[in-house]
């Protein structure tokens, strides 16, 4: 089925309004896009996090699809068990053989850090499920603490900017690359503002013969300190600055899906959010230049993997 926005607005999206997510939160938008893209009946395993606590408050729920709530760490294990039980029931003739898609939603805390070994094990075993990482670069549900996905230089409650340390001192973890190293059939990066790219990747992930992983850029206005109406603009800036390239890895082959050239300096992205205000105010040249250097290094490494020439990049003006 062709992805036409007008037709999609007429479909039941599987996720009801009335949840408690913040105004401007990207997570509900991503969930709706994912559920709308699926061809099969979904079963969702949901890790603890903002999405879970805001959409499943007893006695209400925003979910109109089968859902199991897992702890922070073991949503991938829950999906593995559901998928194994599904196959066993069909094999024993106790359940009709009908197409189903097993989906996990987890934040970057549950994915990059707390639940990594559970996710890694599920990928290594080869369970057929789709893992969606809602990447808002921090433990937003528990107070905006840093995670392995948090950007260098970012203010969080556990990496406060001060005279000695200008925000988080480490670069982010390359979770997409780590997952790709497991050799699974489908891995991709997507972003909330590009609905067509995300939904196309969901369909590819659903059709994959084995595990699939989507790392979805999910800006958080509360934790990143920007106005709620700017979520899509912040997401687009990250892609345009090559901070969050849109690409996919199909059976080990890399393909760039988003812009082929960096069109924005990293300072445009940093200045859009209050969590980097100290860098821009104090003109922290070392940190900003380090951020740009890391972005440029990762961007050109990705271009080479996609069969493109490295891009000649100008030094960031601080």
pLDDT band per the 50, 70, 90 thresholds, residue 13: confident
**What is the token pair recorded at 261?**
């050239």
Q: Say if residue 276's pLDDT is above 60.
A: yes
Per the CB < 8 A criterion, the answer to whether 153 and 164 are in contact is no
**What is the token pair recorded at 280?**
């821009």
C-alpha closest to that of 85 among 114, 131, 34, 45? 45
122/89 Cα distance (integer angstroms): 20
Give Dmax over CA atoms of the chain in angstroms.
67
- The mean pLDDT value of the chain amounts to 94
Per the CB < 8 A criterion, the answer to whether 237 and 210 are in contact is no
pLDDT at 313: 72
117/76 Cα distance (integer angstroms): 10
User: Domain map of the chain by residue range?
Assistant: 5-305
Average pLDDT over residues 122-143: 97
Q: Say if residue 10's pLDDT is above 80.
A: no
Average pLDDT over residues 134-155: 97
Alpha-carbon distances of 125 from 62, 105, 121, 262, rounded to whole Å: 32, 19, 6, 37
- Class of CATH domain 5-305: alpha beta
97/11 Cα distance (integer angstroms): 25
pLDDT band per the 50, 70, 90 thresholds, residue 293: very high
Q: Say if residue 131's pLDDT is above 80.
A: yes
101/205 Cα distance (integer angstroms): 10
pLDDT at 259: 93
Q: Say if residue 1's pLDDT is above 60.
A: no
pLDDT band per the 50, 70, 90 thresholds, residue 316: low
Average pLDDT over residues 303-307: 97
By the 10 Å C-beta count (0-12 exposed, 13-18 middle, 19+ buried), 202 is classed as buried
**What is the token pair recorded at 50?**
């903002």
């Amino acid at each position: 089925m062709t992805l036409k926005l007008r037709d999609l607005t007429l479909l039941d999206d599987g996720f009801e309004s009335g949840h408690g997510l913040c105004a401007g939160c990207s997570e509900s938008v991503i969930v709706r896009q994912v559920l709308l893209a699926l061809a099969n009946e979904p079963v969702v395993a949901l890790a603890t996090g903002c999405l879970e606590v805001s959409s499943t408050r007893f006695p209400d729920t925003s979910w109109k699809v089968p859902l199991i709530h897992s702890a922070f760490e073991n949503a991938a294990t829950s999906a593995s068990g559901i998928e194994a039980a599904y196959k066993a029931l069909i094999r024993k003739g106790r359940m009709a053989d009908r197409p189903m898609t097993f989906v996990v939603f987890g934040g970057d805390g549950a994915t990059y850090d707390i639940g990594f070994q559970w996710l890694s094990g599920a990928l290594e075993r080869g369970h057929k499920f789709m893992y969606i990482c809602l990447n808002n670069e921090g433990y937003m549900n528990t107070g905006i603490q840093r995670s392995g996905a948090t950007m260098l230089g970012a203010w969080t409650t556990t990496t406060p900017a001060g005279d000695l340390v200008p925000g988080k001192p480490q670069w982010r973890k390359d979770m997409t690359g780590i997952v790709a190293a497991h050799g699974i059939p489908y891995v991709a990066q997507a972003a909330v503002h590009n609905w067509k790219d995300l939904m196309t990747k969901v369909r590819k992930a659903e059709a994959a013969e084995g595990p699939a992983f989507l790392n979805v850029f999910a800006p958080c206005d509360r934790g990143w300190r920007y106005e709620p109406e700017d979520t899509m603009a912040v997401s687009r800036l990250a892609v345009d600055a090559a901070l969050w390239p849109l690409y996919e890895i199909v059976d080990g082959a890399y393909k760039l899906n988003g812009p082929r050239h960096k069109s924005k300096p990293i300072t445009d992205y940093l200045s859009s959010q209050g969590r980097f205000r100290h860098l821009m105010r104090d003109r922290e040249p070392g940190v900003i230049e380090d951020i740009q250097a890391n972005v440029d290094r990762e961007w050109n490494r990705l271009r080479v993997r996609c069969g493109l020439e490295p891009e000649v990049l100008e030094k960031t003006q601080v």
